[in-house]
Amino acid sequence: MCVYEQSIKIVEGKTTLLVPKVSIESDVPPKMPAFYNPQAKLNRDLSIFIYKAMARRLSGHIRMADSLAGIGARGVRVAVESPEIGEVFMNDLNPVAIDYAKASAKMNEVYDKCSFSIMDACHFLIEHSSPRDRFEIVDIDPFGSPAPYLDCAVRAVRDKGLISITATDTAVLCGIYPKVSARKYFGYSLNTEYCHEIGIRLLLGALAHSAMRLDIGINPLFSHSTRHYIRIYATISSGASYADETRDSLGYILHCFNCFNRKISSTIEKNCDECGEIFRFAGLLWIKEIHDKNFLSYLLNNIDLNKECEKMIRNSLNEADMPPTYYIPDKIADKLQLNVPKLNYIINSIKDKGYRATRSAINSKGIKTDAPSSVIIEIIKELNR
């Protein structure tokens, strides 16, 4: 097939991409003749910046693998916009998609920096699982769940290397299908107001399980939930001691739907310690930090971010050492049958009472704080008087 037929050129970042015209014209990008999602540009923008930062921190010849490359939008952009990365591998099971990737690579004069293959993603990754063949950076961006690729991805990354993973099955991760979540991600999901953070933590937990079986630990660098997808970035460290540390980072989020109390625990507790109602739970999942403050600071100080990405990174840095979960005042005010005070008023009142508080990077209506739910409820009542 000649990919120039029924194709158009678009510009993302500093890269010109050849894409199927139907991908731009359709509300839902089709898989045929090859998959390209224009709405995932922010996803790709962030990955370019993070890969640049990661490449600067690693030594030697840096190789990045785009294992489910589609038309090569991410891979070609990495080759063009990240000179720190020496070689980019693009793989997809659809030969037409790889034809598009090759055409874009030639158009941007980075073809010699790229390698192309047409394989099942796990087959591709396993072929690079021996120590000398592993990648410094592996990207997993499937249409749906990344669960089938996690083991293969861990095996294909070198020690201290980076894995980035996208999940678009947010209904599973955010509590609509908790039993499916338990099967695919080793933990039950829960449909709470902070369900997208639960989804992030479940995905990290699943990656942790895949890594621990191989005596490998993980360290999350950055995570976000945007539109229809969840995205995580984590480095790996080989050794049983790192795997043990990772196991200690797994647990449960207990949630009371009566009084909004939430609790992090290594075990499942039956009753809420605030009101006595039944606790619901999510997990096993990741209960430690989902952002690395040092890495985010490095991004802000050393990488030329665009405005949208800089805002996301800065907001994530502000909440990096906050406890898991966030509060949505709208939910609390609705149950109390009160008006919703302005977010800034609530945040300032929380701080006045001696607690920490900031806006949630995951939900613009959310508040990250170490204050208990009883304090949030009392503040909303006070601000309504």
- Provide the mean pLDDT of the chain: 96
Q: Give pTM, 2 decimals.
A: 0.96
pLDDT value of residue 23: 81
> How far apart (Å, rounded) are the C-alpha atoms in residues 56 and 84?
7
What digits encode the pLDDT tens for the residues 4-35? 668 899 999 999 999 998 888 777 777 788 88
Q: What is the pLDDT of residues 325-378, one digit of tens each?
A: 999 999 999 999 999 999 999 999 999 999 999 999 999 999 999 999 999 999
Q: What is the pLDDT of residues 154-182, one digit of tens each?
A: 999 999 999 999 999 999 999 999 999 99
**pLDDT, position 3:** 64
> Is there a contact between 270 and 185 (Cβ–Cβ < 8 Å)?
no
Tens digit of pLDDT for each residue in 194-219? 999 999 999 999 999 999 999 999 99
Instruction: Check pLDDT > 90 for residue 76.
Output: yes
Assess contact for 57 and 130: CB atoms under 8 A: no
pLDDT at 32: 82
Per-residue confidence (pLDDT) for residue 59, from 0 to 100? 81
- What is the set of domains in the chain, with CATH numbers? 7-286 (3.40.50.150), 293-383 (3.30.56.70)
Q: Which pLDDT tens digit goes with each residue over 214-258?
A: 999 999 999 999 988 999 999 999 999 999 999 999 999 999 999
To 5 degrees, how large is the angle CA 45–CA 48–CA 54?
140
Taking 60 as the threshold, does the pLDDT of residue 1 lie above it? no
**How confident is residue 2, by pLDDT bands cut at 50, 70 and 90?**
low
pLDDT value for 28: 74
Identify which of 38, 35, 140 has the alpha carbon closest to the alpha carbon of residue 96: 35
For position 141, what pLDDT does the model report?
A: 97
pLDDT of residue 173: 98
Q: pLDDT per residue over 267-281, tens digit each?
A: 999 999 999 999 999
User: CA-to-CA distance for 132 and 149, rounded, in angstroms?
Assistant: 21
